[in-house]
Amino acid sequence: MANELRNNVFNNFMDPMEGFFNGLGKNMVNTNKMKTDVIEHDKDYQVNVELPGFKKADIDLDYRDDTLSIHAVHDLNKESKDDNGKLLRSERTSSDVSRAFYLPNVEADKINAGYDGGILSITLPKSVEKESKHSISIN
C-alpha cells in the first residue's frame, strides 16, 4: 500500500512537468507540415498546398533536376497595449516550412502557380516524350 501511494504521488507530481516539457519541445521545433495533394494527370501534375496565413511574397517555388521545391516563411509579431500605451503582452511566432516532390518530365518554362485563400495551386505540364526506338541487332 505504501508503495502504491508513493508511486501515485510521484506520478501526480511528474504529470504537470511532463506536459510542460512536451509543450516546450513542440514550441521549439516546428511540427507543422504543409498539407499537400499531388495529382498526376495524363498531361500534367497538379499540386495543391495549404499555406494559411502566409503572404504570397513569402513563398518560394523552384523546379530543377526533376524536383519541385516549395519553401515558405511566416513571421507574426503581435502587441497588446493598454489605454496609456503600456505594453501588456508581446508575442512572436515564426513558421518555416518546406517540401520537395520528385516530378519528372516537366516543361519548366510552362509551370503555372497561383495563391488564393491560403491555397497554393501549381500546374506542372508534362513534356511530350518522344519515343526513341532503337533496334539492336543480335550477333
Q: What is the mean pLDDT of residues 33-58?
A: 93
Distances (CA, A) of 7 to 1, 13, 18, 94, 100: 10, 10, 16, 40, 48
Is 70 exceeded by the pLDDT of residue 23?
Answer: no
pLDDT tens for each residue of 52-83: 888 999 999 999 999 999 999 987 777 777 77
Q: What is the DSSP letter of 43?
A: S
Is 60 exceeded by the pLDDT of residue 16?
Answer: no
Instruction: Provide the percentage of residues in the chain whose pLDDT is more than 70.
Output: 71
pLDDT confidence band for 30 (50 / 70 / 90): very low
45 SS3 class: strand
Q: What is the mean pLDDT of residues 27-35?
A: 58
Q: Which comes out higher in pLDDT, residue 2 or 98?
A: 98
Q: What is the mean pLDDT of residues 6-28?
A: 48
The size of the chain, in residues, is 139
pTM recorded for the entire structure: 0.63
User: How crowded is residue 45: how many other Cβ atoms within 10 Å of its Cβ?
Assistant: 20
Instruction: Enumerate domains of the chain plus CATH numbers.
Output: 33-125 (2.60.40.790)
Instruction: Provide the percentage of residues in the chain whose pLDDT is more than 90.
Output: 47
Cell 519515343 sits at which residue? Answer: 131
Question: What are the cell numbers at 99?
Answer: 517540401
Give me the half-sphere count of Cα atoms (radius 13 Å) on the Cβ side of residue 119. Answer: 7
Give me the DSSP letters along 89-110.
EEEEEEEEEEEEEE--SB-GGG
With contact defined as beta carbons under 8 Å apart, do 73 and 55 qualify? no
Give me the half-sphere count of Cα atoms (radius 13 Å) on the Cβ side of residue 62. Answer: 9
